[in-house]
Amino acid sequence: MDFDYDLFVIGAGSGGVRAARVSAAYGARVAIAEDHQVGGTCVIRGCVPKKLLVYGAHFAEDLADARQFGWDVPDCRFDWPRLRDTVLAEVARLNRAYTDTLNNNRVEIILERAAVAGPNRVRLAGGREVTARHILIATGAWPVIPDVPGAEHGITSNEVFHLDTLPRRVVIAGGGYIANEFAGIFHRFGAHVTLINRGDTILRGYDEGVRDRLLQISMTKGIEFRFNTRFADIARRDDGTLAITLGSGDVIEADLLLFATGRAPNTRGLGLAEAGVALDDQGAVIVDADNRTNIPSIHAVGDVTNRVQLTPVAIREGQAFADTLFGNKPWRVDYDCIPAAVFSHPPLAGVGLTEGEAKNRLGAVKVYTSDFRPMKNVLAGRNERALYKMICDPVTERVVGLHMIGPDAPEILQAAAIAVKAGLTKKQFDQTVALHPSMAEELVLMR
């Protein structure tokens, strides 16, 4: 059969763009459909603009600390519209850059919603149908909004970058990385932040000692946490403020409610079930190690598969898909030992097994720590302490996990993650001369 395309990609996020670009470079005829902006969640409404807000928020502490370093810093006023518009301008630039990349690789961009109409057919929103030898689903994930009366008065991380004014009182629902990152951002912008969590802990999946340190620091700064708490009702008053009633009967007044309660695979309305594509109970596309669904011509990469919801993972999956299918260079993504970070205030990062996971898997572990006050914090009069943890196999001394919280923790961990991935031992860390004075030197000084 003569198809219109060798590959049709639905979703122009990180994974879809990488798969489309590389496949086209191998000579495939490729089209990609996107109903919003090229770049996807990370670039348009996720990690990139959020990290820019993190930078903006951190200036609040930097300006205050600068006085202890001899700088005559006057009281400064924060201008939210200026930062918002600058961030959105950068997002627009990245959208153009991604679009140019696809165009330069001769990928046809279709700015239209697309759905699967069969094993080799795609139906566009305008009614046109096209055929493709292979179809790749790369539609990412979408914020989950809890089923509670008045939930329509809240927003998600999709909308937070477009606020007209900066709220004075912010309630954030959730305890994951998005919730804690925006808690730090809004707090440093001067808002009172209350984080509502239906569970009893924050940042599940991260090392307990590190996440407890973040909770301690956040509470000291004035961020309020309410655990084991659910929403009962959300009402908007005539003056535009919100009255948020909790399951306990308490009422919290707020100017903004941000739902950060997880992200679900974005498969609704894509025609996948009708085409016979197997989905799990959360709506995620089920794929094998080569990103293939149960329909041989249909594949999926990225958050829509709900394997690991991280942008670098989606990019790597897209690369493996293109190399394997069109480049005659088959390989599979290794999901072991993936580093992750939370850009909170201060940030935390980790790779490998947590202490709890290591004990469950190995039975016993050796844990080395460094609990210290960064030099900059000492001179600035800031009492925040950093914490580094190294988890080792008790027999071989191989480092199986590394976790840290403190200034620049994600930047330090990226290099250290290579050592953990390579299976290096505590002795090899110890044999490396410290780079002094630095926070990173604590990695080779832990006891």
**Torsion, CA 5, CA 9, CA 12, CA 18, rounded to 10:** -90
pLDDT at 112: 96
What is the average per-residue pLDDT within 272-291?
A: 97
Active site residue 36: no
pLDDT tens track for 122-171: 999 999 999 999 999 999 999 999 999 999 999 999 999 999 999 999 99
Beta bridge partners of 195: 172, 225
Judge residue 168's burial from the number of C-beta atoms within 10 Å of its C-beta, 0-12 exposed, 13-18 middle, 19 or more buried: middle
335 domain-assigned: no
Annotated binding residue 427: no
pLDDT exceeds cutoff 80 at 179? yes
Q: What percent of the chain has pLDDT over 90?
A: 99
pLDDT at 16: 98
Average pLDDT of every residue of the chain: 97
- 305 and 240 assigned to the same domain: no
- 10 and 132 assigned to the same domain: yes
pLDDT at 325: 98
- 135 and 279 assigned to the same domain: yes
302 domain-assigned: yes
DSSP reduced 3-state for 5: strand
pLDDT exceeds cutoff 90 at 1? no
pLDDT at 294: 98
pLDDT tens track for 306-333: 999 999 999 999 999 999 999 999 999 9
- 257 and 270 assigned to the same domain: no
Asked if residue 157 lies in contact with residue 263, where contact means CB atoms within 8 angstroms, the answer is: no
Q: What is the CATH number of the domain that holds 238?
A: 3.50.50.60
What is the average per-residue pLDDT within 14-19?
A: 97
| b/e map 37-63, b = 16+ CB within 10 Å | bbbbbbbbbbbbbbebbbebbbebbee
Domain C-terminal end among 261, 278, 299: 261
pLDDT tens track for 341-358: 999 999 999 999 999 999
Domains identified in the chain, total number: 3
pLDDT tens track for 388-446: 999 999 999 999 999 999 999 999 999 999 999 999 999 999 999 999 999 999 999 99
Annotated binding residue 381: no
Annotated binding residue 2: no
pLDDT exceeds cutoff 90 at 4? yes
- 299 and 433 assigned to the same domain: no
Per the listing, tokens 């990173």 go with 440
380 domain-assigned: yes
Q: What is the CATH number of the domain that holds 370?
A: 3.30.390.30
- 371 and 437 assigned to the same domain: yes
Q: Is 0.85 topped by the overall pTM?
A: yes
pLDDT at 358: 97
- 233 and 253 assigned to the same domain: yes
Annotated binding residue 426: no
Domain ranges, residue 79: 5-143+264-326
pLDDT at 367: 98
pLDDT at 193: 98
- 279 and 240 assigned to the same domain: no
The residue from 36, 134, 345, 436 that is catalytic is 436
- 187 and 257 assigned to the same domain: yes
Annotated binding residue 177: yes
What radius of gyration do the chain's Cα atoms show? 24
Confidence bin at 336 (pLDDT 50/70/90): very high
- 269 and 137 assigned to the same domain: yes
- 309 and 242 assigned to the same domain: no
User: What Cα–Cα distance (Å) separates residue 159 from each residue in 151, 170, 267, 404?
Assistant: 14, 14, 20, 31
Confidence bin at 234 (pLDDT 50/70/90): very high
Annotated binding residue 303: yes
pLDDT at 330: 97
304 domain-assigned: yes
Nearest to 278 by CA among 441, 98, 116: 116
Annotated binding residue 352: no
